[in-house]
Amino acid sequence: MYRLITGIAGPSGFGSASTAEQVTQGIDASNLTAIITGGASGIGLETARVLALRNANVIIGARNLEAANEAKQLILKDNNNARVHVLKLDLASLKSVKTFADNFIDLNLPLNILINNAGIMFCPYQLSEDGIEMQFATNHLGHFYLTNLLLDKMKETAKSTGIEGRIVNLSSIAHIHTYEKGIAFDKINEKRSYDDKKAYGQSKLANLLHANELSQRLQAEGVNITVNSVHPGLIMTNLFKYSGVLMKILKFCTSILWKNVPQGAATTCYVALHPSLKGVSGKYFVDCNEFKPSRFARDKVLAKKLWDFSIKLVNAA
């Protein structure tokens, strides 16, 4: 908490006050291709901008193509050498996820970095087109399916280039506020027991568990790809559109803890690009430093159960 408030750097040399540009200073990513989901606004856009600034080839996956193309133009306005592509992606639709993955594969590009950034927060109860509770569908299941679809491309790229692949899941400190058993497997779509805050926490816990389980599987295979999770911090972005007055009051009362967007994108960019994290996998980062997540997040049995559960949901859809 002291470091969060003061911005004092942790063991990595960076802290809560560090920006995405600062943590990637001097890094040349010109030989890297990165996909960023939700890169049309907020910290996703800042992540895309900074990776492009470091010369990475950036693909923005976004539901709103108009907003994504506007984001692309903003990046190009400040950096006319930026390599930025836009592809449609609606994570609440497994069909859209499959189409996005197919369209990316058709570009015949390598894939070094996958940043599972997009998400929704505290929305009223609703189901996705596949019949899955919307926060779980968008924040976890869409990214789970997308990652699986792109994994062979990432393995192929890592093997042929010798460059370590990196997958980054955006989780949240909110993963500690979830349902009683962590993941409510038997009530995942139940309206009666739905709690918008706990459902969000559940989806963010799922992001962590997914990263940890995938990390173990890739290590067992001897694949040169790392998988980590990050908490970006408290940032007022479009994620809070369902929270209105409540979040304005919260921000007023806790203003000292909130970050701006460049600071919010720092941990993502650090984990995606920084050479000091070569070979580091299955970890959780806060303010660009490794942090111990909740008991549920460290539960390997729960992670395996979520993996199997997610496979069944995808197959059923």
Is the pLDDT at 243 greater than 70? The verdict is no
* Active-site entry in 145, 179, 194, 284: 194
Distance CA 232, CA 173 (A): 9
Looking at residue 87, its pLDDT comes to: 98
Looking at residue 235, its pLDDT comes to: 77
Lowest-pLDDT choice from 85-99, 209-223, 229-243: 229-243
Please state, rounded to an integer, the average pLDDT across all residues of the chain. Answer: 93
Is the pLDDT at 250 greater than 60? The verdict is no
1-9, long-range: CB < 8 A, 24+ apart: 3/287, 4/233, 4/257, 4/287, 5/256, 5/257
Looking at residue 4, its pLDDT comes to: 52
Is the pLDDT at 62 greater than 90? The verdict is yes
Is the pLDDT at 45 greater than 90? The verdict is yes
User: pLDDT band at 255, cuts 50/70/90?
Assistant: very low
Lowest-pLDDT choice from 41-50, 94-103, 186-195, 232-241: 232-241
User: pLDDT band at 251, cuts 50/70/90?
Assistant: very low
User: pLDDT band at 310, cuts 50/70/90?
Assistant: very high
Is the pLDDT at 308 greater than 80? The verdict is yes
8 A C-beta contact, residue 314 and residue 145? yes
Number of separate domains in the chain = 1
Is the pLDDT at 309 greater than 70? The verdict is yes
Distance CA 22, CA 15 (A): 11
Mean pLDDT of 232-237: 75
Query: How do 33-37 and 289-290 pair as beta strands?
Result: unpaired
Q: Which amino acid is at 3?
A: R
Percent of the chain with pLDDT over 90: 89
pLDDT by residue (tens digit) across 89-141? 999 999 999 999 999 999 999 999 999 999 999 999 999 999 999 999 999 99
| pTM, full prediction | 0.93
SS3 of residue 252 by DSSP? helix
Q: Residue 127: give the domain boundaries.
A: 2-316
Looking at residue 234, its pLDDT comes to: 82
Mean pLDDT of 152-167: 98
What the block records as the tokens of 93 is: 């639709």
125 as an active site residue: the answer is: no
Q: Which DSSP category does 190 fall into?
A: -
- 236 by Cβ neighbours in 10 Å (0-12 / 13-18 / 19+) ranks as middle
Looking at residue 7, its pLDDT comes to: 65
Is the pLDDT at 270 greater than 60? The verdict is yes
Looking at residue 240, its pLDDT comes to: 46
Which CATH number goes with the domain that contains 17?
3.40.50.720
Helix (H) or strand (E) segment spanning residue 34: strand 33-37
Is the pLDDT at 163 greater than 50? The verdict is yes
